[in-house]
Structure 1
């Protein structure tokens, strides 16, 4: 359904609300006035398209709760709507919900792991094709072990970040 937003002076909205109170409320009266103005019946609502559905959820919060929500969202670099959607998705799907900074960091970690993987492939290829003796071979094997340790550390860091993210969205004690 389409939405119409309109700014009116406070006095006009008070008078309109008074008139609309006996006619089913603001929205109903506006629809009726629009139908009369257009001289056409109001069409039946369209069926939601199959596939991905998008819906809107409205919430009413106390000013105190809204202030806390806005502070929490701002601390994560999100709008209050983004924060609320992330909370709902985290609880519904049990997957991490990354804020913009976390997403950038995650992409950087992925790039770094790819770089390390390329280096390991180069070392492995060199070990397979070259005949190396003594110290040279030991140096290459040591470098390969260092890369392996670095990859494990990055993977542990990624796992810890995801676990921390999930813990953030989990219900409190």
Structure 2
């Protein structure tokens, strides 16, 4: 469950050069964010080592996670079916097929972990080279 949103109470004002504003706006637009949202996410990442992905990305990541999870479930069912197909007259190379399905299952599990970290705010985009 996500923590409840807290209301921001303090205001910060910055003065930047025009070129910096142009680059800031380009970076924010590239992420689908407003200027202030981009700056807040950057600051939170640097100060707290976490930053949630933008709303649109969270929706896309969550949908991808659900789809990968379903694929993983289907692969698990396929492995069980392969084990059930151990009849003597079967021409299926069960060991090879089971290894392939297990490899797919492991890949799905890896991708689910990556998406899970992204949903929790592990966004390398916000990291800088000096870390």
The bucket for the TM-score relative to the shorter chain is 0.5 to 0.7
Mapped partners of 2:128, 2:86: distance in 1: 58
Structure 2, unmatched stretches of 5+, are none
Q: 2:15 aligns with which of 58, 61, 78?
A: 61
What's the C-alpha RMSD, in Å, of the aligned pairs? 3.7
Please give the secondary structure, in 1, of the residue aligned with 2:123.
helix
TM-score in terms of structure 2 length: 0.63
Please give the secondary structure, in 2, of the residue aligned with 1:113.
helix
Mapped partners of 2:38, 2:54: distance in 1: 9
Q: 1:106 aligns with which of 46, 58, 61?
A: 61
- What is the CA-CA distance between 1:151 and the residue it aligns to? 1.8
Mapped partners of 2:77, 2:40: distance in 1: 43
Structure 1 outlier segments of 4+, above 6 Å: 159-162
In the alignment, which residue of structure 2 is the partner of 1:17?
none
Mapped partners of 1:112, 1:139: distance in 2: 26
In the alignment, structure 1 residue 141 sits paired with structure 2 residue 98: yes
- What is the CA-CA distance between 1:128 and the residue it aligns to? 5.5
Kindly indicate whether structure 1 or structure 2 has the higher relative contact order, using CA contacts under 8 Å at least 6 residues apart: 2
Higher Rg: 1
- What is the CA-CA distance between 1:55 and the residue it aligns to? 1.9
In the alignment, which residue of structure 1 is the partner of 2:127?
170
Residues 49-69 of structure 1: per-residue CA shift (max 9 Å, x gap): xx8642242322224233332
TM-score in terms of structure 1 length: 0.51
Say how many residue pairs are matched: 122
- What is the CA-CA distance between 1:85 and the residue it aligns to? 1.6
